[in-house]
């Protein structure tokens, strides 16, 4: 362990760079919160630092601590966040779709509108808009075939 | 290395302030929920950055608890947002469909 000092400084610098990367991801989410027009677009930006930013910061913390005990305690942070972040994002996206808090003209294809129409739910926003694109009656069979959007 | 930590702290501060601005200004409650989610994620990153800066590991349990319970408030508010329309539609459908009260009772079960 004669040359432990340069490795320690290199690991500290790598940890600092990873911290700046995680912070930049959080800043990107904040910029998306300001710039994007509706709630579902903001949700897309907001879910980026929840996994990758946290992974970067946790790896930076493990590199700066350099102990197996810290790594053992830091692993559940990432595992729990990976388990719970998709649930919360799914629930927020569901609430955003149901409250109609999105601009339907920006969508390439609304894959939920056909199912909403089949379910006969007139209170959901997918059934309110006119079905001018051919995604109608059999969405499961020809979903992979023809690109129905105007992309 | 300390200059990198200072840069990361400044960026996280800006992100937290912007997320708080979205929570205050958000036109709908979904926007406020998304803003508070970003604020909580930024808080977890701030806790980790503070541990790297000062070299202790005392607040790792705080990170674990925040990562485990971050979905509770979000799911509660999402259910609160989507619940009243569903119940209103359900009561309207059952009230208009059935004329006899025993059918209504059977349908309610």
Task: Tell me which of A56-65, B78-87, B97-106 is least confident.
Answer: B97-106
Shortest alpha-carbon distance between residue A146 and chain B (Å): 33
Domain boundaries, chain B: 2-82
Residue A9, domain extent: 4-102
Supply the ipTM of this predicted assembly: 0.74
Number of domains in chain A: 1
Mutate to test the interface with A, among B10, B52, B62, B81 (most CBs of A within 10 A): B52
> In chain B, what residues touch A20 (CB-CB under 8 Å)?
4, 7-8, 11
Whether residue A80 lies inside any domain: the answer is yes
Residue B100 pLDDT > 70, yes or no? no
* pLDDT confidence tier of residue B80, bands split at 50, 70 and 90: confident
- Cα–Cα distance, B11 to A142 (Å, whole number): 46
Residue B94 pLDDT > 60, yes or no? no
Residue pLDDT, tens place only, A84-134: 888 988 888 888 888 877 777 777 877 777 777 787 766 666 555 444 444
The C-alpha R_g of chain B, in whole angstroms, comes to: 23
Through-space distance between the first and last CA atoms of chain B, rounded to whole angstroms: 65
Instruction: Count interface pairs A-B at CB distance under 8 A.
Output: 186
pLDDT for B75 equals 87
B75 vs A136, residue with greater confidence:
B75
For the record, the structure tokens of A122 come out as 């007139």
SS3 (DSSP) at B100: coil
* pLDDT confidence tier of residue A36, bands split at 50, 70 and 90: confident
> CB distance B5–A16 less than 8 Å?
yes
pLDDT for A110 equals 79
Q: Please tell me which residue of chain A has the smallest CA distance to B18.
A: A30
Whether residue A36 lies inside any domain: the answer is yes
């Amino acid at each position: 362990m004669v040359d432990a000092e340069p490795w320690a400084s290199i690991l500290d610098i790598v940890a600092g760079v990873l911290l700046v990367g995680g912070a930049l991801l959080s800043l990107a989410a904040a910029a998306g919160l300001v710039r994007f027009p509706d709630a579902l677009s903001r949700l897309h930006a907001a879910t980026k630092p929840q996994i990758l930013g946290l992974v970067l910061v946790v790896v930076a913390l493990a590199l700066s601590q350099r102990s197996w005990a810290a790594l053992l305690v830091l692993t559940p942070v990432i595992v729990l966040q990976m388990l719970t972040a998709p649930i919360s994002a799914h629930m927020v996206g569901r609430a955003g779709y149901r409250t109609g808090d999105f601009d339907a003209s920006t969508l390439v294809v609304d894959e939920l509108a056909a199912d909403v129409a089949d379910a006969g739910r007139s209170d959901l926003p997918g059934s309110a808009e006119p079905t001018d694109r051919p995604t109608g009656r059999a969405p499961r069979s020809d979903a992979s075939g023809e690109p129905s959007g105007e992309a | 290395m300390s200059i990198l930590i200072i840069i990361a702290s400044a960026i996280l501060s800006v992100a937290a302030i912007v997320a708080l601005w979205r929570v205050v200004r958000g036109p709908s409650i979904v926007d406020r929920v998304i803003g508070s989610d970003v604020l909580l994620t930024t808080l977890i990153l701030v806790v980790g950055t503070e541990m790297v800066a000062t070299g202790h590991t005392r607040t790792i349990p705080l990170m674990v608890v925040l990562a485990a319970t971050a979905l509770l408030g979000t799911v509660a508010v999402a259910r609160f947002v989507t619940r009243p329309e569903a119940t209103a539609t359900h009561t309207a459908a059952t009230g208009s469909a059935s004329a006899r009260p025993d059918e209504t009772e059977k349908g309610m079960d």
